[in-house]
Structure 1
Amino acid sequence: MSLRSSFATLAGKTSRWFLQTFFKGGSSLPGKIALTIDPNVLDQLAKDYHIIVVTGTNGKTLTTALTVNILKQEFGEVLTNTTGANMLQGIVSTFLSAKKNKNGKNFAVLEIDEASLSKVTEFLTPELFLFTNIFRDQMDRYGEIYTTYQLIVDGAKKAPEATILMNGDLPIFNSIDTINPRQYYGFNHEEDQELQAHYNTDGVLCPHCHRVLQYKMITYSNLGKYYCPNCDFKRPELTYQLTDLKETTNVSAKFVIDQEEYSIEVGGLYNVYNALAATAVAEYYGISPEKIRSGLAYDEKVFGRQEVITIDDKTCTLVLVKNPVGLNQVIDTMKMAPFDFSLVALLNANYADGIDVSWIWDSQLELLQDMDIPKVISGGERKEDMTLRLKVAGINEELLTEVPDLKSVISEIKTAPTEHVYILATYTAVLNLRKELIQQGYIKEAN
């Protein structure tokens, strides 16, 4: 390591110690300081690591957590960016916190923002990329889905020998050739039939001839066993496949992947995809089914991913939502709940959320009418937009309460007529709500 890199590392680690000791935070600042001193410091910090990069629109955080937990069963300590700091300075901060295994391999599993991937791969060389999905999300940052896909492909080609392990059920991942070798995971759990995606679905045009794709099986949105009726474009052969979906509830799922039965303690079909992705990584590294089962048994809820919080006598499930596909999947999961619940919808429009909130109009909030929800609370910095959307979706105005701030949100939750409450919130709304709940003593601040 050069003198400059050594000084940058020392400064970064010192600032990290100071921030954690006195302020209990500072996930990205140490990396920013180190990069200011040496823009190439990551190249040195990441040396001798087997690096797996997880990127895509939805599912990065839980997929990363599950992958880390599985790899731990085989290799011991695994480095990861648990704080969600997934841009360049956050990745540097992650490596500044590293504790290498004295014996065996050193793995790093990194969740990386789609737009940041090319910047990160300038300085480190992954051996495996995991692509979860590409959906329309934060149009002000990423643009259309094909622009986003090009961003991550450009990032991956800077490590051309690394394999891309991608969701084979998503047509966009088969739309262009890549320098990198590819493997695919996906669902093969139903008999073939002739289907078309919902008319309001993105990414259903054949990239070769631009005809509307047909499906033999659809899981959700434009995911499934697709083919073009006009040319030879179709879903590629799957290397890793889910062949039986035994049970899905609002809090768990059981399924079979490559002849082995597994389960997870988190609800929703979208989270089964996350578990399938993590299992595919494990199989890629030759990890046994027994250790995969132990890793998937991870039951600590990740920040904002069906995180359960108790507020007085109310059991609240906090779920991050950020785009139409994700919100629709959450609504489908809520429908499976075997209990009555109230609903909170918090909408912010900061940079981290996406400043364009028009996406709420493309979600299927009308499905809430069928759930007989006795109380609906709208809040957040764009509460008026959310209130209007809920009214148009058919929510009875007598059941709908718009609140001015998060203290009022918590007060309204306490008076909800149900024991259970679902809280759907955009990214900064989740952060702000958790901060308020910490101040009121309902949850503990993370170390």
Structure 2
Amino acid sequence: MSLKSFLAIAAGKSSHWFLHNFMHGGTALPGKITLKIDPNVLETLAKNYDIVIITGTNGKTLTTALTVKVLQSKYPHLLTNPSGSNMKQGIVTAFLTHKKNKHGKNLAILETDEANVPIISKYIKPTAFVMTNLFRDQMDRYGEIYTTYEKILKGVRLHPEATIIANGDAPIFNSVKLPNPVLYYGFDNKKDHEQLAPANTDGLLCPKCQHILHYKNLVYSNLGKYYCPNCDFKRPELACKVTEILTQSPQESRFKINDTPIHLHIGGTYNIYNTLAAYTVGKYLDVDSKQIAQMLDNKDEKVFGRQETIHVGDKEITLILVKNPVGINQVLEMIKTDTSPFSLSILLNANYADGVDTSWIWDANFEDLPFERIGAVLTGGERYKDITFRMKVAGVPDNIFTQREKILDVVENIKTMPTKNVYVLATYTAVLQLRKLLASAGYISGGME
């Protein structure tokens, strides 16, 4: 270790100790300080680790948490970045604060922002890259899905020996031939039925001949058992697959992966995909299928802002991060499976971390909500006027509708809602603001990690 790296690491660890003992947290600043002293410090920190990088548009944080849960039975001392701090400085902080296992494998499971994959890959040697999906998201930051994929591939191409674990139902992950070994996962729980994806769906052109792709099964958006009717392009063989979906509700899902029963204490088809990715990583690292199922059956598992349940008075708030059309539409589909009356709050910000373009709310299927079963609808956030207008166009009845700009007023309004269950859909910085407020009021421990 060079003197520069030694000083950088010492400074980073000292700042982390101070922040966590006197300032109640901080995942990015220690990494920033360390990188300021030694921009190449990650190369030193990551030595002697087997590293799995998890990236994609939706589901990175929960997939990372589920993967860690799956692997902890075999690798109890693994490193991760649990708060979703997935830029370079957050990853450096994760290494700074981890104590290496002296008597076994050192394993790191890292959530990584798509644009940061090539940046991180310069300094570390991943064992595997996990790709969840690619959807239109924050156009001001990422561009189209093909631009985003090329950013990821810049990192992957630095490590042709690393295994790729990819969503086989996403055509884009089968569009570029790479020398890497590949394991695909996907859904195979229904009989074949000829169909097309909705007309406004991204990523529907065959990468070989540009013909519109057809589907023998469609899960949602452009994910499913695709094929090109004009050439030989089709979904690859799946190493791990959902073979049956048994029951789904907003609170849980029961399904089978490779005929192994899985009980997940969180709802949403998109979270079945996240679980499938974690299961595939587990099998790749030789964890027994029954052990994976046992580790996933944990009702106490909570993930920062991702369908996190928070009790405020007599209300049970389910806090869900939303940030793009596909994500919010899948959340709305999940909410619609709730057979009990519920209330709904939507908080819209448009800061850099959220994406400054809010036009994606017009691709959300709010019109399909069961307003007859919704006790109250509340809009808020820094762009509350935009989301208020969108909900008015969607047809929310005036007698159940309220708008509030300030987060404090949002919380007070939620307390008066007529139903016990309240779903709060919020963009990233709105999640942070709400959690900070709830933490200061004592409803949760810690605001932002």
Alignment TM-score > 0.5, same fold: yes
Alpha-carbon separation, structure 2, partners of 1:304 and 1:207: 36
Contact kept, 8 Å, 1:183 with 1:239, in 2: the verdict is yes
Secondary structure of the residue aligned to 1:374 is strand
Secondary structure of the residue aligned to 1:73 is coil
Counterpart AA for 1:247: T
Matched, 1:399 2:400: yes
Alignment deviations for residues 413-445 of structure 1 (CA, whole Å, 9 cap, x no partner): 111111111100000000001111112222221
Counterpart AA for 2:216: K
The 3 A distance-change label for structure 1 pair 213 and 98 is same
Tell me the equivalent position of 1:129: 129
Alignment deviations for residues 265-309 of structure 1 (CA, whole Å, 9 cap, x no partner): 110100000000000001111111232012212332211111111
Tell me the equivalent position of 2:200: 200
How far is 1:372 from its partner? 2.9
Aligned residues: 447
The unaligned stretches of length 5 or more in structure 2 are none
Counterpart AA for 1:421: V
Secondary structure of the residue aligned to 2:12 is helix
After superposing on structure 2, the runs of 4+ consecutive aligned residues of structure 1 that deviate more than 2 Å are: 178-181, 369-372
Secondary structure of the residue aligned to 1:375 is strand
Contact kept, 8 Å, 1:335 with 1:371, in 2: the verdict is no
The 3 A distance-change label for structure 1 pair 103 and 159 is same
Secondary structure of the residue aligned to 1:13 is helix
Contact kept, 8 Å, 1:327 with 1:363, in 2: the verdict is yes
Matched, 1:445 2:446: yes
Counterpart AA for 2:320: V
Structure-to-structure mapping, 1:300-315, within 5 angstroms: 300-315=301-316
Alpha-carbon separation, structure 1, partners of 2:256 and 2:439: 39
Alpha-carbon separation, structure 1, partners of 2:239 and 2:405: 50
How far is 1:371 from its partner? 5.2
Structure-to-structure mapping, 1:54-93, within 5 angstroms: 54-93=54-93
Normalised by the length of structure 1, the TM-score is 0.98
Tell me the equivalent position of 1:165: 165
Tell me the equivalent position of 1:277: 277
Alignment deviations for residues 186-233 of structure 1 (CA, whole Å, 9 cap, x no partner): 111100010111122111121222221110001111100001111111
Contact kept, 8 Å, 2:12 with 2:96, in 1: the verdict is yes
Counterpart AA for 2:134: I
Contact kept, 8 Å, 1:369 with 1:393, in 2: the verdict is no
Structure-to-structure mapping, 1:381-420, within 5 angstroms: 381-420=382-421
How far is 1:155 from its partner? 1.2
Secondary structure of the residue aligned to 1:387 is helix
Contact kept, 8 Å, 2:371 with 2:396, in 1: the verdict is no
Counterpart AA for 1:9: I
Tell me the equivalent position of 1:363: 364
Counterpart AA for 2:35: L
The 3 A distance-change label for structure 1 pair 193 and 222 is same
Secondary structure of the residue aligned to 1:198 is coil
Alpha-carbon separation, structure 2, partners of 1:252 and 1:339: 15
Contact kept, 8 Å, 2:51 with 2:125, in 1: the verdict is yes
Alpha-carbon separation, structure 2, partners of 1:371 and 1:273: 30
Alignment deviations for residues 9-34 of structure 1 (CA, whole Å, 9 cap, x no partner): 11111111111111012211111111
How far is 1:255 from its partner? 1.5
Contact kept, 8 Å, 2:206 with 2:213, in 1: the verdict is yes
Counterpart AA for 1:353: D
Tell me the equivalent position of 1:15: 15
Contact kept, 8 Å, 1:66 with 1:298, in 2: the verdict is no
Normalised by the length of structure 2, the TM-score is 0.97
Tell me the equivalent position of 1:112: 112
The unaligned stretches of length 5 or more in structure 1 are none
Alignment deviations for residues 312-357 of structure 1 (CA, whole Å, 9 cap, x no partner): 1111111110101010111111011121011100000001100000
Alpha-carbon separation, structure 2, partners of 1:370 and 1:20: 44
How far is 1:374 from its partner? 2.4
Alpha-carbon separation, structure 2, partners of 1:180 and 1:289: 25
Contact kept, 8 Å, 1:369 with 1:394, in 2: the verdict is no
Alpha-carbon separation, structure 1, partners of 2:420 and 2:21: 38
Matched, 1:267 2:273: no
Alpha-carbon separation, structure 2, partners of 1:35 and 1:213: 45
How far is 1:253 from its partner? 1.1
Counterpart AA for 2:364: S
Alpha-carbon separation, structure 2, partners of 1:328 and 1:144: 19
How far is 1:370 from its partner? 5.2
Q: Percent identity between the aligned chains? A: 54
Matched, 1:228 2:245: no
Alpha-carbon separation, structure 2, partners of 1:157 and 1:319: 34
Secondary structure of the residue aligned to 2:66 is helix
How far is 1:369 from its partner? 4.3
How far is 1:254 from its partner? 1.4
Secondary structure of the residue aligned to 2:207 is coil
Alignment deviations for residues 373-396 of structure 1 (CA, whole Å, 9 cap, x no partner): 121000000000000110111111
Secondary structure of the residue aligned to 2:395 is coil
Contact kept, 8 Å, 1:153 with 1:178, in 2: the verdict is no
Contact kept, 8 Å, 2:244 with 2:259, in 1: the verdict is no
Secondary structure of the residue aligned to 1:127 is strand
More off after superposition, 259-268 vs 115-124 = 259-268
Tell me the equivalent position of 1:353: 354
Contact kept, 8 Å, 1:74 with 1:291, in 2: the verdict is no
Counterpart AA for 1:332: E
More off after superposition, 136-145 vs 175-184 = 175-184
More off after superposition, 172-181 vs 23-32 = 172-181
Tell me the equivalent position of 2:148: 148
Structure-to-structure mapping, 1:419-430, within 5 angstroms: 419-430=420-431
Contact kept, 8 Å, 2:340 with 2:373, in 1: the verdict is no
Secondary structure of the residue aligned to 1:33 is helix
Alpha-carbon separation, structure 1, partners of 2:394 and 2:302: 30
Counterpart AA for 2:43: D
